[in-house]
Structure 1
Amino acid sequence: MKAKQVSVFLENKSGRLNEVAQILGEANINISAFTVADTSDFGVLRLIVSDPDKACNVLKEKHFSVRTTDVVLVKSPNQPGALSRMLQILNAEGVFIEYLYAFSMNDKTAVIVIRPANLDKCLSVLENHKNELSAGDDQYQL
């Protein structure tokens, strides 16, 4: 499924990540997943939140540099080999992945956040290979 990811550019200084979490919490915006990529000067906080548009607005009001990006969310079995099966199919079909991160919902299900170079192609490939991805009781869902 296509979703909006919020990206926040942060200076590498103490407390900036907490500021974002506090602002979003006060705005009643839930964070479902996040990852931080950093360099020596700044970091990029990428978030999946309950209300991406509101999150952008409240963060911009507090002078954060923020943007949204479309990503693909895939529910995957939380078991060995599940990620590899999906990545093999995407690679075989020429889907380039800029980055991805994942989180476990429970011992049976994980959610993979994918930022492909071509979002529509990624969605199409996953949809076209849905039966191939499912093996036995395994279920992948967009």
Structure 2
Amino acid sequence: MKITQLSCFIENRPGRLHAACMALAARGVNIRTLSLADTAEFGILRLIVADPEAGKAALEAAGYTVRLTDVIAVEVPDDAGGLARVLAETDAAGLNIEYMYAFSTAVGRNAVVIIRFSDPDRAVAELSRHSISIVKPVTLLER
């Protein structure tokens, strides 16, 4: 199952990340996980939030450029080689990964890796075929 992610273009200067988070907070949009990649002048803030449409509206109202993209959340064993085993399957299937980021809720439990594939629909089919656990959106977004 695919999950909707917000991709927000953000200036690389003091206060802009705080302002984006405040825009979401003011609308009651809870952030589940995020990643920030930067260059000298701007960055891309990628977020999984409880309500993607409300998050997009909140950030756009605050003057940010936001795009919705499909990503896949995959459970990965939290042990040495856990990610490598999953990536072996994606490589064998010829899946192209554009970027990824991860989080874990507790040491020793499964981590969750957010992956942007160039072909998300094919990725879901291939991962499922290889019994790789895909996190359902409702599970990721629950409190």
Q: Supply the RMSD in Å over aligned alpha carbons.
A: 1.1
Query: Normalising by the residue count of structure 2, what TM-score does the alignment of the two structures yield?
Result: 0.89
The aligned residue for residue 137 of structure 1 is none
CA deviations on 1:7-61 (whole Å, 9 max, x unpaired) are 1101111010001111111211111111111111110000011011000001111
Q: How does 1:1-142 map onto structure 2 within 5 Å?
A: 1-107=1-107, 108-130=109-131, 133=132, 140-142=133-135
Q: Identity, % of aligned pairs?
A: 40
**3-state SS of the aligned residue for 1:69?**
strand
Partners of 1:50 and 1:77 lie apart in 2 by 24
Displacement of 1:141 in angstroms is: 3.7
Gap regions ≥5 residues in structure 1: 134-139
Partners of 2:21 and 2:12 lie apart in 1 by 16
Q: Which amino acid aligns with 1:20?
A: A
CA deviations on 1:64-102 (whole Å, 9 max, x unpaired) are 111110000112222221111000100111000000000
**3-state SS of the aligned residue for 2:28?**
coil
Q: Which amino acid aligns with 2:2?
A: K
Moved segments of 4+, more than 3 Å: none
Partners of 1:123 and 1:10 lie apart in 2 by 30
**Are 2:4 and 2:70, in contact at CA under 8 Å, matched by a contact in 1?**
yes
Between the two proteins, the alignment pairs up a number of residues equal to 134
**3-state SS of the aligned residue for 1:25?**
helix
Query: Normalising by the residue count of structure 1, what TM-score does the alignment of the two structures yield?
Result: 0.90
User: Which stretch of the first structure deviates more once superposed, 85-94 or 75-84?
Assistant: 75-84
Partners of 2:80 and 2:26 lie apart in 1 by 38
